[in-house]
Structures are given as C-alpha cells and as structure tokens.
C-alpha cells in the first residue's frame, strides 16, 4: 500500500538508493578484508628472522672462542699468536654481550622462546665462568715463561746439569698445563650444552615463523572467499530488488525498464565472466604463494650466502665470457698465420739460414700441431668456468641449469682434462671405469663435484713432498639396476676424525688462507642431495681418503 502511494520519481529514487547502499556494503566488506590481509602481511614482514641473525652471531662467537682456546694450548704458541687469540676471545665476548643487549630490548613472541632464551643465557654465563678460570690459569702459565713444559722436562731429564729451582718451575708449569687441558675439556662440554640450547631456540624461532606464514596464507584464503561471497550476494540482491521495483513502476516507462533489465543482464554476465577470470588469477597467485612458501625457509637461511655467491659469480663470469668470446678469433688468427707460414714454406722452400735456424729453435712444426689443442683446452676451460659460475648460482638458486642424460665417465674424463695442468708428474691417475648406463642429471654440477674432490686429493698428495708412489684411483660401477657408485680414492695424508664431521660445512677449510674457500665440499654435498644421492667419506690419518658417491639411475631429481 505504501509503495502504491509513492510517486514514480520516489520509487526510482528508492531503487537506486537501495542499490547504492548494497554497493557501499560490498565495498566496505572488501576494504575490511583487504585491511586484514595487509595487516597479516605487515606482521609477517616485520617479524621475519631478526632473532635468527642474532643467534647466528652467538654461534660464530662460540666457534671463534673454541678456536682461540685451542690455540692457547699449542706448544708452539708465540707472543703474537697468543695476543691475537686473546683479542679474538675478547671480541667474541663483546659481540655476544651486544647481541644479548639487543635481544633484551625486544619482546619475545612466545613464552617458549623466552624460556629457551633464558636457558641459553644461563648456559652462556656458565661457560663464561669456566672460560675466566681457564684464562686465569693460562695467564699464570704464560708468566712462568715455559711454553713446552713436557719437552723442557724431558730435556732436563736427559741433561747432566741439575738446577732444582728450574726443575721445580718446570714441574709447576706441567701442573698448570694439565689443569688447562682439563679445563678445556670442561669448556668443550659446556660448548656442547650451549650448542644444544642454540639449536633448540633456532628450531623454536623457525617454527614460529612457519606459523606466521600459515596465518598469511589462511588470511588470503579467507579474503578470497569473503570477497567472492559478498560480490555474489550483492549481485543477487541487486537483481532481485531491480525486478521488484520494476514491477511497481508505471507502464509508460515499462519498455525503457525492460531495456535496462536486458542491459543489466548483459552486465551481470560480463561481471560473472570477470569474476571467473579474477578467480583464476587468484588461484594462480595462490599456487605461486605455495611454491614460494616451500622455498622461503631455505631462501632466508641462504640469503646472505646467496648474495656473496652471486657477486663472486658475476665477477668471475664477466672476464670468462670475455676470454671465451675472444678465443674463437685468436684461434682463427693463429690458423691464418700458420696457413701463411705454410704458403711461404711451399713457395720458398730454400729460405735464409737464419730463418731455418729460428724455425728449428722454435720447433715450428710442433707449435703448428699443438696450438689448436691449446686453444681447444682454453675453450673447454672457459666453458668449465662458466659452468662452475652457473653451479655457484645454483647453490642459492636451484632453478637454473638443465637436466641431461649423460655418461658419468665422460664427465670425469673432462674434469681430469681440465685438471691436467694441476696433476704433477709424480701423481698417478688410475681410471677403473665400468660399463655404466647413462643417468638423467645436471652434468655441470656433477662435474663440479668431481672437480672439487679430485682437486682436494691432489692437494692432499702435494702436502707431503717426500711421499713416494702418489696415487689417485677413480672407479665407477653399477651396483644394481637402480644405483650408480663413483669412488675417488687417494693415498695422501688422510683426514682427522674430528675434521671429517665438519668437511661438508660451508666455509670450513683446512687449507692455508687464500688457497681454499671452504665451499667446495659444501656445494658438492648440496648437489648430491639435489640428485637424491649420497656422499660418504672414509679416511684414516696417514692412509689416505676415499669419497663414495651413490646416485640413483632412474629416480627423478629434486627441484
């Protein structure tokens, strides 16, 4: 009855006003969901992994302290080395104090993290107390002025001279050194406890960040569903109200309203099509987000290392590309020159004696034969550099390079060819290649593994110049239908048991400064894991080392 009394103008105004309110409601709902989504993303971006970076500083400081404490027990310790060791301990303590101060200023996100942090602080203080006692003993031992008390005691025992006061001083030094050794063992035990506390807190923080990621994904899902439902409800209500009001509008404009309804129907179809397209875009975005989520933890752990490796790879790749690009021209120029020389020899066989003498001195025939081989070797070397650069990039970005079906024996042969200049005459290489099938792999990366292990074997053999019968044995076999096994064995100096546990850690190296980066075996381990294989090492000091690589033949490779 009320609608029948309203004028036509008021009815139309009421219809548009109602639709405007519905559109406003839909817009407000969309703004709210977008705001919630942005808050989740903001929270996640603000709470990434600052605590993990600080814990990593503590881990590095602990390692530096352990190394410096071990240095202080060295019989060959001199004043400068001792000073540097004490400075490293002091610097590490200052770093940890600064980290604790920064952590104490910030609020922990969970009670479990707070408890683990308090346990870590207690473990650290216990270790510091033990370390202060160790340093006090070391200072008193140093003031005695006897660096090697055992050797000095043996010297006095073999000497005919007797100096009771000096003998007493040597005995005191022996007691102090024994106390230092025992105290170092207690420090090592405290370090193990501290390591466990650090790992527990690492795990807790990583779990918390995974939870934040899940909340962000859930928020996107909720926003998507609410937006779609709100839009569909708005469209449905708008159509219903339009039909309702159209039935109440006067007949003179009925045709115009019918035309508007047809246009509205077309608009609805267009809108539904847009909604469908937008839905497909959102689903594709969600799939990308899931893939990104799977790599997020590993990417964050490797972010610092990845930046450094990327810089190194870029610096290496530029000159390598320049050299490789010019090799073809250099090769062509040399061939042209040799061709010209041959023409001179052909048309002027009886040349000046001085030219003949110089040609014989230069051994021009050997040069003409060997020069193409030199260029081929240089070209292969630059290609290998480019492949190594690609592998370095793959250490932090595993989506590069291509899979190929190759014969592992050929890759090892290529590696030995590149290393031919490094392999000295006194080193014998024995190749025991089996009849093995081809495998689907990343050949450049596997060649990098072979390069790293064989280079280390050569370095181990060169460590002892007096050693005779230096030998490297490389064998490949197919143990069964599914596994390929590569063994690289040398008879060098071997590896200490405590070092074997660390050889696959990033930046760990026993080589002198400037000769090793500590990345070779770490990258090799990552590459073998990517191929779903295993790499093991068997070694005894003085008996050499053997690396055993097992690779699946048919199993797909992880990406």
Q: What is the DSSP string of 100-136?
A: HHHHHHSPPSSHHHHHHHHHHHHHHHHHHHHHHHHHH
> In angstroms, how far is CA 202 from the centroid of its own chain?
18
Query: The CATH number of the domain where 521 resides is what?
Result: 3.30.565.10
Mean pLDDT score, 7-24 = 64
Range of the domain at 389: 302-400
- Token duo for residue 412: 């090892």
* Residue 10, pLDDT score: 61
* Phi, psi dihedral angles at 411 (to 5 degrees): -65, -40
Asked whether residue 34 falls in the same domain as residue 126, the answer is: no
116 vs 195: CA distance, rounded Å: 12
> Which among 360, 86, 48, 93 is positioned nearest to 209, based on CA atoms?
48
Asked whether residue 316 falls in the same domain as residue 444, the answer is: no
Asked whether residue 438 falls in the same domain as residue 536, the answer is: yes
In terms of C-beta density within 10 A (0-12 exposed, 13-18 middle, 19 or more buried), how is residue 389 classed? buried
Q: Could you tell me which residues come within 8 angstroms of residue 477 by beta carbon, excluding any fewer than 6 positions away?
A: 434, 436, 484, 485, 487
Q: What percent of the chain has pLDDT over 70?
A: 73
Q: Could you tell me which residues come within 8 angstroms of residue 124 by beta carbon, excluding any fewer than 6 positions away?
A: 58, 96, 100, 194
385 vs 316: CA distance, rounded Å: 8
- Residue 203, number of CB atoms within 10 A of its CB: 11
400 vs 415: CA distance, rounded Å: 21
CA distances (Å), 141 to each of 56, 85, 527, 559, in order? 33, 15, 48, 56
Among the residue ranges 102-106, 107-111, 403-407, the one predicted with the least confidence is 107-111
In terms of C-beta density within 10 A (0-12 exposed, 13-18 middle, 19 or more buried), how is residue 395 classed? buried
Mean pLDDT score, 256-263 = 80
Contact 167, 156 (CB under 8 A): yes
Of the pLDDT bands very low, low, confident and very high (cuts 50, 70, 90), residue 311 is: low
pLDDT tens column, 88-108: 888 888 888 888 788 777 766
Domain end point (choices 251, 269, 301) = 301
Structure pTM?
A: 0.34
Contact 22, 238 (CB under 8 A): yes
* Residue 299, pLDDT score: 40
Name all contacts of 513-520 with Cβ < 8 Å and 24+ positions apart: 515/459, 519/309, 519/395, 520/452, 520/455, 520/456
Asked whether residue 25 falls in the same domain as residue 59, the answer is: no
Pairing of strands 427-433, 470-478: parallel
Asked whether residue 440 falls in the same domain as residue 306, the answer is: no
More confident position, 368 or 451: 451
Among the residue ranges 275-279, 370-374, 468-472, the one predicted with the least confidence is 370-374
* Residue 310, pLDDT score: 60
* Residue 210, pLDDT score: 72
312 vs 293: CA distance, rounded Å: 27
- Which stretches does DSSP call E strand in 101-237? none
* Residue 489, pLDDT score: 94
- Token duo for residue 224: 């998507």
DSSP type of residue 427: E
Asked whether residue 553 falls in the same domain as residue 471, the answer is: yes
Domain end point (choices 162, 180, 210) = 210
Asked whether residue 18 falls in the same domain as residue 121, the answer is: no
* Residue 150, pLDDT score: 80
Asked whether residue 56 falls in the same domain as residue 190, the answer is: yes
* Residue 191, pLDDT score: 82
Asked whether residue 173 falls in the same domain as residue 150, the answer is: yes
On average, the pLDDT of the chain sits at 76
Asked whether residue 418 falls in the same domain as residue 392, the answer is: no
> Which among 158, 162, 184 is positioned nearest to 68, based on CA atoms?
184
Positive or negative, the Cα torsion across 141, 145, 147, 151?
negative
Q: Could you tell me which residues come within 8 angstroms of residue 552 by beta carbon, excluding any fewer than 6 positions away?
A: 439, 482, 483, 484, 531, 532, 533
Of the pLDDT bands very low, low, confident and very high (cuts 50, 70, 90), residue 476 is: very high
Domain end point (choices 210, 243, 264) = 210
- Token duo for residue 417: 């060819």
> How many domains does the structure of the chain reveal?
4
126 vs 121: CA distance, rounded Å: 9
Cα-Cα-Cα-Cα torsion 272, 277, 282, 288, nearest 10 degrees, comes to 160
User: How far from each other are the two terminal CA atoms of the chain, in whole angstroms?
Assistant: 71
Asked whether residue 287 falls in the same domain as residue 240, the answer is: yes
In sequence order, what are the beta bridge partners of 39? none
Q: How many CA atoms lie within 13 A of 311 on its CB side?
A: 5
Asked whether residue 289 falls in the same domain as residue 359, the answer is: no
């Amino acid at each position: 009855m009320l609608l029948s009394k309203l004028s036509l103008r008021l009815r139309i105004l009421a219809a548009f006003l109602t639709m405007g309110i519905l559109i406003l409601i839909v817009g407000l709902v969309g703004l709210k969901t977008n705001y919630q989504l942005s808050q989740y993303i903001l929270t996640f971006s603000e709470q990434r992994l600052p605590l993990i970076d600080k814990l990593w500083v503590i881990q590095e400081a602990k390692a530096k302290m352990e190394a410096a404490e071990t240095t202080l027990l060295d019989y060959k310790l001199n004043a400068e080395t001792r000073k540097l060791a004490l400075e490293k301990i002091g610097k590490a303590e200052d770093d940890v104090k600064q980290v604790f101060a920064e952590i104490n200023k910030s609020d922990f996100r969970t009670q479990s993290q707070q408890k683990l942090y308090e346990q870590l602080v207690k473990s650290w203080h216990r270790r510091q107390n033990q370390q202060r006692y160790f340093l006090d003993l070391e200072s008193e031992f140093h003031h005695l002025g006897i660096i090697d008390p055992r050797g000095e005691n043996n010297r006095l025992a073999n000497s005919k001279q007797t100096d009771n006061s000096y003998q007493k001083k040597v005995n005191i030094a022996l007691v102090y050194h024994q106390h230092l050794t025992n105290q170092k063992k207690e420090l090592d035990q405290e370090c193990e406890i501290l390591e466990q506390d650090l790992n527990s807190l690492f795990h807790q923080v990583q779990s918390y960040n995974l939870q934040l990621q899940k909340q962000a994904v859930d928020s996107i899902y909720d926003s998507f569903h609410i937006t779609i439902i709100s839009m569909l409800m708005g469209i449905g209500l708008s159509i219903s109200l339009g039909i309702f009001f159209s039935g109440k509008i006067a007949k003179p404009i009925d045709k115009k309203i019918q035309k508007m309804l047809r246009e509205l129907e077309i608009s609805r179809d267009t809108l539904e099509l847009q909604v469908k397209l937008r839905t497909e875009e959102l689903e594709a975005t969600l799939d990308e987000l899931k893939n990104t989520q799977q790599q997020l933890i590993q990417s964050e752990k490797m972010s610092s290392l990845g930046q450094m490796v990327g810089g190194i790879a870029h610096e290496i790749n530029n000159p390598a590309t320049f050299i490789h690009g010019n090799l073809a021209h250099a090769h062509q120029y040399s061939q042209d020159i040799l061709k010209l020389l041959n023409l001179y020899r052909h048309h002027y066989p009886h040349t000046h004696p001085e030219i003949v003498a110089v040609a014989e001195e230069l051994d021009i025939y050997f040069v003409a034969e060997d020069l193409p081989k030199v260029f081929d070797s240089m070209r292969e070397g630059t290609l290998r550099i480019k492949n190594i650069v690609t592998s370095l990039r793959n250490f932090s970005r595993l989506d590069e390079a291509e899979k190929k079906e190759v014969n592992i024996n050929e890759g090892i042969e290529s590696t030995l060819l590149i290393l031919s200049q490094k392999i000295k005459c006194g080193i014998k290489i024995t190749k025991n290649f089996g009849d093995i099938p081809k495998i689907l792999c990343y050949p450049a990366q596997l060649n990098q593994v072979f390069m790293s292990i064989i280079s280390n074997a050569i370095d181990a053999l060169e460590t002892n110049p007096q050693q005779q019968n230096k030998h490297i044995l490389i064998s490949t076999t197919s143990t069964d239908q599914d596994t390929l096994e590569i063994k690289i064995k040398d008879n060098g100096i071997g590896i200490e048991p405590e070092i074997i546990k660390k050889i696959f850690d990033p930046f760990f190296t026993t080589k002198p400064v400037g000769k090793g980066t500590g990345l070779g075996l770490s990258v090799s381990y990552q590459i073998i894991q990517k191929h779903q294989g295993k790499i093991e090492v068997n070694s005894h000091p003085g008996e050499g080392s053997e690396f055993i690589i097992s690779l699946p033949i048919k199993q797909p490779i992880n990406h």
